[in-house]
Structures are given as C-alpha cells and as structure tokens.
Amino acid sequence: MRLRSPRRLLVGTLAGLALLAAGCSGDGGDPAPPAPSATQPPAAAAGTSFGPACSAVPASGAGSFMGMAQDPVATAASNNPVLSSLVGAVKEAGLVDTLNSADGITVFAPTNDAFSALPKATMDAAMADPKGLLTTVLTYHVVEGKLTPAMLAGTHKTLQGDTIEITGTGEDFEVNGQSSVVCGNVQTANATVYIIDDVLMPKG
C-alpha cells in the first residue's frame, strides 16, 4: 500500500475544511450584510451636488464646483454664469464684503431666469433702493450656518430677520412652497449654496 506524502495530506485536509466552512456559512450564523443599493440617492454623500441645473455649471475653471469651493461665496458666484443676475444685485446692494467675510452661511441663490421672471416694476423698485428693499430681499436668501441636505427641511431664520420654510427630502426640496432647489449642496470656501428657481420675497 502506497502512503500519501505529508504535503498531499495537508493540502487535502485544508481543502476539506474549506468545503465544510462554505457549507456551514448559512447555518445559524449571522447573514451577510446586503450589498449597497445602486439606486440610493447620491445627495446623502457629503459634498455631493445634486439637481437638474447642476449640468449648467461649468465643468472646469473658477466657476466650476471645484473652482467655487476655493473662493468665498460672493466671489465664487461671480465666476458662475448661472448666477450673474444675483451677483449684479449683490454688488449693487454693497453686500459683497458682508457675504465674503461671513463665517459659515447658507445662501439660496436664484438663477438668472428667476430674476428675469420678476415683474419689471418689482425689479426696478429694488434696484432703485439698494440699501433698503434690495438689501432686504437679498439677505432674506441667507441663513446662518452651512446647512447640509439632511439639515434643510424645517424652519430657518434668515439674516433679514424673517424665516423661510423648507420641505422635502433626498434631492427634492422646496422653499416657501414656491421655489425649488435646482442645484443643491454647492460648496464655497465659507458657504453652502442651494441654487433655486424663484426669487424669495420676505413675508413682512
């Protein structure tokens, strides 16, 4: 009778143990954790921007998401062609330094189309009163603290003094029941920006 070599016995034993372990893996043990869902909304990830209007943000340069993250909020917005009307209003009201020097804020930034949709009389009145009406409207779009998407829903006090009400979850948010977030969670050096499709008006 021919004896197996010790090496072959060791290999055979290890193979048998591996098969036994595989056969017992589902008996009485904890089930393996499920694989992450491929359909989970990406907005849950920190720093991830979301929304249909994000495609209009430049892919590179100072106005891109990466470029905006390097500059304070008013400067960052000035490099983004989607927000040129807002930037013009901020400059007219003399709020550039105020916004750039703020330590952690959230800005709800109306698109150019949102400003274009305002009645001409309303826009003319605001631009004619930069330190009064225009400043009141613009500071109503600013909230203290950098709000993540998970923190958005609820009531938030604005720098103007009134409050805004945000509803929604995931990647679908509405401000005051009138304006939708079309590109959210955009980061700048000192602020988080949510681009919206309507200009918000204070309640008072």
Bridge partners, 163 (sequence order): 157
The CATH number of the structural domain formed by 48-196 is 2.30.180.10
CA distances from 181 to 9, 124, 160 (A): 67, 25, 20
DSSP symbol at 50: B
Q: Domain-by-domain residue ranges, the chain?
A: 48-196
Nearest to 181 by CA among 79, 72, 43: 43
The span from the CA of 127 to the CA of 145, in Å, is: 28
Please answer whether residues 200 and 175 qualify as being in contact, where contact means their C-beta atoms are separated by less than 8 angstroms: yes
Report, as ranges of residue numbers, the positions in the chain whose pLDDT lies below 50: 1-45
Are 41 and 153 in contact by the 8 Å Cβ rule? The answer is no
pLDDT value, residue 47? 63
- Give the model's pLDDT for residue 198: 97
pLDDT tens digit sequence for 81-113: 999 999 999 999 999 999 999 999 999 999 999
Strand partners, 105: 144, 191
Strand partners, 192: 106, 187
pLDDT at 103: 93
pTM of the model: 0.77
Amino acid sitting at position 147:
L
Opening angle at CA 59, ends 88 and 97, nearest 5: 30
Tell me what pLDDT residue 26 has.
Answer: 43
pLDDT at 91: 97
What would the pLDDT profile of 129-147 be if each residue is shown by its tens digit?
Answer: 999 999 999 999 999 999 9
pLDDT at 181: 98
- Tokens at 184, concatenated: 């959210």
